[in-house]
């Protein structure tokens, strides 16, 4: 019953994806129409799109899994997804304005013009691509967790994944960003219905929040790797840097930039920075559902199954089907946008398919990018099917650390041209090396402990890497400025940002 | 004009959430939620509110 409902909803949504090609009555030939929906999305659609983009199937599975396994640390997602919006209010609006004026599709487009540096452009673009690959694969892993809970065998599961990704690739090819935008409406409605129902109904059945927190606390303390209900002092800095680092990095991910640039005007962006936090409340509820799983006596070795099992236990089969469909569709939306974002990076920044810049670029044909999107999805599917999930998860952690290293050039660069391109590049490289080696040293945990004598400080590896990155960029720039070295051209002008 | 001051509101959510020692405790509870949890959830609403205020207050007015 649950499987039937789930399948019907997923199939319906696939149809929406193909229908999206007709939306807006426009031929989707040009890159701007395909990749950015013609930069025509209004406040409401933009809200659904960005919400559907930022909150992925992996989020819905992994966040409660973390709460279930480790406790309070998982709640970092709430302040992270709270402060990311005021930050985006400042940075993303600026990128949108200049992006519209000069026809940008990606952050790397901006970096190329601002710093007139091909290496820096490639660094930013390449980082984005590297970070996206595991992220798409993880959406499939989120889907696999749902299928497993539905009792689908592993062969059927693989078939389902291949078929759904094939369809996803097809409608991404035909409809571009309009497809995930339209599907996001369905996805987000289903997600809100599912989570709001769960957060009211399940605690009622479990005896109230006080009871849930008490049981969770005991269960967490009994874990081999002790979890906690409230973060202990030793984790304060780790929590804080996790929040800040993640918040800074989020809107620099290529798929978020792709969605962000699709707005009709800058007011759409600004309004949404105030409206999108509604999704953050959902995120908080999701983390709390992880505690509910503890209180409900759900015992799973694979923590990813905590919430699916919780839904299977408490929901009527038909509603569990709705919930599972929400998660599966929740994978398709970001996967599509990630493929488009990656295609944009390849086409615009790696292969330089768009030799004309400025307003003219946006009208160029999208075929190259469309084909690249297919390649990206195929690659991610292969990775998800052939490689151990653990590998994708570790890769994703590094991806987060890597994305933060594009902040100096791609985000800070929006406000100032003070930095020299060469130290920025070396800083980026420093950050990449630091982040990767710390990730390796911690066996792909996000927290690294610095030791200096008897003093130790545990913090988010991406944050430490960014610190090293900025230190190098600042020192390098100061030296070059002192030596009066030419900082290179800036092809943008002050008027472009207003 | 003094519109730029409104942007200061955007810093408040950061100040409110980036200093865990301030809120990493269980008491006082609200509706069965430890302080650590309901405090952070309240900030979601506040951040949204402040951002909306900044948007409205820094808009170009017909005569501004």
Any CB–CB contact under 8 A between B30 and chain A? no
pLDDT band at A149 (very low <50, low <70, confident <90, very high): confident
Structure confidence at residue A360 as a pLDDT band (50, 70, 90): low
HSE on the CB side for A128, CA within 13 Å? 36
Q: How far apart are CA A34 and CA B18, in angstroms?
A: 39
Residue of A165, A125, A175 lying closest to A377 (CA atoms): A165
Residue of A51, A63, A81, A83 to mutate when probing chain B, most B C-beta within 10 A: A83
Instruction: Locate the chain A residue with the closest alpha carbon to B16.
Output: A79
User: How far from A106 is each of A116, A128, A265, A356, CA to CA, in Å?
Assistant: 15, 10, 17, 15
Query: Residue A243 is nearest to which of B17, B41, B48, comparing CB atoms?
Result: B17
ipTM associated with this complex: 0.94
CA dist A6 and A471 (Å) reads 51
Residue in A94, A203, A274 to test binding to B, most B beta-carbons within 10 Å:
A274
| Sign of the four-CA dihedral A176, A182, A186, A192 | positive
A32 φ, ψ to 5°?
-70, -40
DSSP symbol at A431: H
Q: Looking at residue B64, what is its pLDDT?
A: 45
Closest CA to A75 of A250, A229, A300: A229
Asked whether the predicted pLDDT for residue A168 surpasses 80, the reply is yes
Contact map slice: A 274-293 vs B, CB within 8 A: 274-275, 277-278, 280-281, 284, 288
Closest alpha carbon within chain B to A280: B44
Spatial distance between the Cα atoms of A485 and A243, rounded to a whole number of angstroms:
37
Is the per-residue pLDDT at A143 higher than 50? yes
* B22, closest residue in chain A (CA to CA): A236
Q: Are A227 and A60 in contact (CB under 8 A)?
A: no
| Pick from B29, B34, B43: CB nearest A79 | B43
Of B10, B24, B32, which is closest to A231 when you measure between CB atoms? B24
Query: For residues A471 and A490, what is the distance between their CA atoms, to the nearest angstrom?
Result: 23
How many contacts does A have with B, using Cβ atoms within 8 A? 108
Confidence of residue A426 (pLDDT cuts 50, 70, 90): very high
pLDDT reading at B34 higher than 70: yes
CB contact under 8 A, B54 and A212: no
A463 interfaces chain B, CB cutoff of 8 Å: no
Residues of A in contact with B14 (CB under 8 A): 83, 86-87, 244
Helix intervals (H) in A104-153: 107-115, 118-149
């Amino acid at each position: 019953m649950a499987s039937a409902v789930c399948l019907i909803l997923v199939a319906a949504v696939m149809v929406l994806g193909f229908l999206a090609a007709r939306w807006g009555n426009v031929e989707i030939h040009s890159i701007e129409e395909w990749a950015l929906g013609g930069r025509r999305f209004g406040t409401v659609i933009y809200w659904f799109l960005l919400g559907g983009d930022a909150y992925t199937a992996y989020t819905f599975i992994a966040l409660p899994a973390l709460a279930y396994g480790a406790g309070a640390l998982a709640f970092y997602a709430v302040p992270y997804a709270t402060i990311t919006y005021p930050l985006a209010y400042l940075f993303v609006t600026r990128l949108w304005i200049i992006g519209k004026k000069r026809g940008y599709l990606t952050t790397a487009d901006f970096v190329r013009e601002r710093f007139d540096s091909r290496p820096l452009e490639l660094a930013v673009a390449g980082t984005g691509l590297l970070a996206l690959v595991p992220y798409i694969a993880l959406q499939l892993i989120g889907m696999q967790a749902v299928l497993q809970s539905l009792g689908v065998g592993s062969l059927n599961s693989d078939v389902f994944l291949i078929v759904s990704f094939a369809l996803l690739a097809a409608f991404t090819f035909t409809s571009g960003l309009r497809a995930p935008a339209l599907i996001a409406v369905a996805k987000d409605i289903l997600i809100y219905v599912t989570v709001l129902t769960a957060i009211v109904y399940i605690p009622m059945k479990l005896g109230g929040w006080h009871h849930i927190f008490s049981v969770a606390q005991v269960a967490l303390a009994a874990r081999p790797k002790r979890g906690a209900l409230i973060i202990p002092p030793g984790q304060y800095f780790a929590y804080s840097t996790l929040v800040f680092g993640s918040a800074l990095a989020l809107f620099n991910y290529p798929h978020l930039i792709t969605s962000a640039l699709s707005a009709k005007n800058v007011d759409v962006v600004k309004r949404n920075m105030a409206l999108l936090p509604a999704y953050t409340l959902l995120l908080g509820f999701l983390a709390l559902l992880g505690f509910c799983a503890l209180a409900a006596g759900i015992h799973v070795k694979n923590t990813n199954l905590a919430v699916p099992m919780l839904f299977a236990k408490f929901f009527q089969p038909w509603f569990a089907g709705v919930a599972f469909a929400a998660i599966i569709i929740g994978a398709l939306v970001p996967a599509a946008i990630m493929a488009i974002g990656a295609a944009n990076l390849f086409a615009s920044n790696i292969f330089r398919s768009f030799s004309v810049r400025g307003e003219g670029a946006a009208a160029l044909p999208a075929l190259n990018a469309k084909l690249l999107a297919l390649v990206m999805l195929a690659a991610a599917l292969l990775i998800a099917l052939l490689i151990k999930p653990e590998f994708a998860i570790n890769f994703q952690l590094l991806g987060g650390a890597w994305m933060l290293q594009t902040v100096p050039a791609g985000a800070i660069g929006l406000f100032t041209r003070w930095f020299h391109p060469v130290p920025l590049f070396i800083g980026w490289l420093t950050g990449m090396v630091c982040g990767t080696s710390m990730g390796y040293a911690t066996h792909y945990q996000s927290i690294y402990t610095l030791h200096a004598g008897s003093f130790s400080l545990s913090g988010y590896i991406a944050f430490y890497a960014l610190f090293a990155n900025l230190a190098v960029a600042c020192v390098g720039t100061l030296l070059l400025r002192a030596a009066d070295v030419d900082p290179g051209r800036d092809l943008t002008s002050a008027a472009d940002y207003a | 004009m003094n519109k730029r001051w409104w942007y200061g509101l955007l810093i408040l959510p950061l100040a409110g959430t980036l200093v865990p020692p301030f809120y990493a405790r269980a008491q006082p509870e609200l509706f069965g939620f430890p302080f650590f949890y309901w405090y952070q959830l309240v900030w979601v609403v506040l951040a949204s509110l402040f951002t909306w205020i900044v948007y409205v207050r820094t808009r170009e007015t017909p005569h501004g």
